[in-house]
A and B are shown apart, each in its own frame.
Chain A
Amino acid sequence: MTTATTGTAAAKAGGNAAKPKPATMAQALQRAMRDAMAEDPTVHVMGEDVGTLGGVFRVTDGLAKEFGEDRCTDTPLAEAGILGAAVGMAMYGLRPVVEMQFDAFAYPAFEQLLSHVAKMRNRTRGAMPMPIVIRVPYGGGIGGVEHHSDSSEAYYMATPGLHVVTPATVEDAYGLLRAAIASDDPVVFLEPKRLYWSKSDWSPEAPAPVEPIGKAVVRRRGTGATLITYGPSVPVCLEAAEAAQAEGWDLEVVDLRSLVPFDDETVCASVRRTGRAVVVHESTGFGGPGAEIAARVTERCFHHLEAPVLRVAGFDIPYPPPMLERHHLPGVDRVLDAVARLQWEAGS
């Protein structure tokens, strides 16, 4: 097992646990699966290329070597088969952690996901829970060709019975994946591809406390407006908030972490404080997650709002070719433009 690349070993190599070497999000995710597998023999990792190769993003690196091919399995190349088999394994008491190689390649498995994974508990009146984690590397910004950059969260969010979770930090990648594996319900765990190599001085020896799934977090305090965001757009919003400071706008940034269940409480508390909100994500805007979020916020905070809730989203287009993706992805400027539009006065 290639512990040399994990936070622990890096920290040990540095000889100073208090000053850990930076770990990447990919490493934190690997460590989460490793620790879960070590603690619980029913945890099984499976998917395409997850074994010997360690996954195309190396997130399962070393797991097959440490736990054997029965616990970290290279499956035949068939997403419906992978998830369908995981359903049967869950029926027999295992906790499968399934990797879908890329966002758009999870679609063949949607029948299993929507008809069985999401509904089995309900169909059997609670007798057959589905403790399955479906890990999906998602989103753009890495120059991937067609079918490698979709943000598919809206499809998952629209399916009752699924939890939908997405980390934005190295610490959350570990903490949320541990929580997802421990969950007795299916969790679609969306991994922002372009943050795989983001780093943090994270030590698995003292991992950040794991919040239960369903809690948003305020990443930056502010008073002027709330940026509501998640996953790959969190760093964009934090950068935008820094830039806005120069213009005299003091922005708050809420990282949702969990799209289902949705933390109305944290989001609405923030919006009530600031009176203004922008939802930021790279998935399409029409029928997208921001539509749901803006509606919820409006329903709950109408009297506190100084301006309509705005959305900054990807265009309503199929994910563009890599050479054009920077025009599609919401960046700092688009966020700041929206914040400017929030300085809205009734009747104007």
Chain B
Amino acid sequence: MDSLQQRSSTVQEPPGAVPAYRPTPPPAWQPRTDPAPLLPEAEPLRVLGTDAVADADPALLLRLYAELIRGRRYNTQATALTKQGRLAVYPSTTGQEACEIAAALALEERDWLFPSYRDTLAAVARGLDPVQALTLLRGDWHTGYDPHEHRIAPLCTPLATQLPHAVGLAHAARLKGDDVVALAMVGDGGTSEGDFHEALNFAAVWQAPVVFLVQNNGFAISVPLAKQTAAPSLAHKAVGYGMPGRLVDGNDAVAVHQVLTEAVARARRGGGPTLVEAVTYRIDAHTNADDATRYRAAGEVEAWRAHDPILLLERELTERGLLDEDGRRAAAEAAETMAAELRERMNADPVLDPMELFSHVYAEQTTQLREQAAQLRAELEAEGEA
């Protein structure tokens, strides 16, 4: 306004003529952050089979190997338990063990894990009792463990809703001055949910110490990634929130461990959240209740079998002379012992107390619940007498 008036007083205009309108430029606009460093790798990062693997710690490689073998056995055992009716449902992670395990092992004990229903393996790798990890899927209670004990939030069934919890917990820890990091896991389908978006946005705005791990296993039940998103990659989504996106080969346990360790360290030192996309494949069906042949070709599955996370690591260990037949047998035997114990414990019928239905609704039972508890107690007594 002022500049226009000034101009009209200095520029000679013929009397009566309307001064020409000169648009004023908008105030200078700058992007808040240079997006380039936030962009993910052009291709999923790999370590196994590249020169970079020479830097990997042999002890870590062996640990990952033993855990992958155990994880695979856990998957086959749990799947068998569904066939025997011991588990209501089991979403297998066969083929995905590398992301599950390497991610969990990147955490310190004081950190928190926010798993989805599929991530029993990550919880077990973190030290959770294999039977307790299955209570949700067995149906004897929703969560079979005290989340505070292992710092593992309840396995979450509604997609992506655990992600804002991870943000809130990490934020609270930081407010308290604790250097705790939260790792939140989600599937590729879950990235379409609003909660995914809200969690990433909150985390970036609050600079919360959270690592988001998307296990892109190709499908949300039957729907392929191409019908889920038009983004160049799921890792690219990070840039829009102002956090780095990382793309990693999810079947390369060493690469996943490396990327996760860096992201966790970054979060711990106050660098804020990271979104990691691990590209992997779900070898089994979505759950035992799903028929995967309806939506994918056998050839696709076979191609991924050739890129199996255990094969990749085994090849490296063998070439380096870190693993021989004895080592393989030892790992297989340890896994077998775990499976036998799991079988045995899962074959025992859980003892449930129906009165517990009313125990954990409120801190204190309401009158209404007390009346209903009395009704059930009477029914149980009558049943007992009959």
Contacts and interface: CB of A to CB of B under 8 A. Distances in A.
Interface of A: 70, 75-76, 78, 80-81, 83-94, 96, 108, 111-112, 115-116, 119-129, 160-161, 163, 183-185, 214, 260-262, 264-265
B171 A89 contact: yes
Nearest to B146: A127
Given A111-B161, A124-B154, A75 B363 contact: no
Contacts of A261: 362, 366-368
Interface in B129-167: 141-143, 146-148, 153-154, 158, 161, 163-167
Nearest to A262: B368
A112 B169 contact: no
Nearest to A125: B360
A137 to B, nearest CB: 22
A84 B198 contact: yes
Contact of A85 (B171, B176, B362): B171
A160 B367 contact: no
A230 to B, nearest CB: 17
A125 B166 contact: no
Given A88-B170, A92-B173, A121-B360, A81 B164 contact: yes
B151 to A, nearest CB: 10
Given A111-B161, A112-B164, A124 B172 contact: no
A127 B147 contact: yes
A90 B172 CA distance: 8
Interface of B: 141-143, 146-148, 153-154, 158, 161, 163-173, 175-176, 182, 194-195, 198-199, 201-202, 205, 356, 359-363, 366-368
B48 to A, nearest CB: 35
A89 B169 contact: yes
Contact of A161 (B141, B201, B362): B362
Contacts of B362: 121, 161, 163, 185, 261
Contact of B165 (A88, A122, A163, A183): A88
A162 to B, nearest CB: 9
B168 A75 contact: no
A92 B153 CA distance: 11
Given A70-B175, A185-B362, A76 B141 contact: no
A84 B172 contact: no
A90 B167 CA distance: 12
Contacts of B359: 125-126
Nearest to A115: B158
Nearest to A92: B172
A214 B361 CA distance: 15
A40 B182 CA distance: 25
A-B pairs, 10 with minimum CB distance: A88-B168, A84-B164, A81-B198, A85-B168, A88-B169, A92-B172, A261-B366, A88-B165, A123-B142, A89-B168
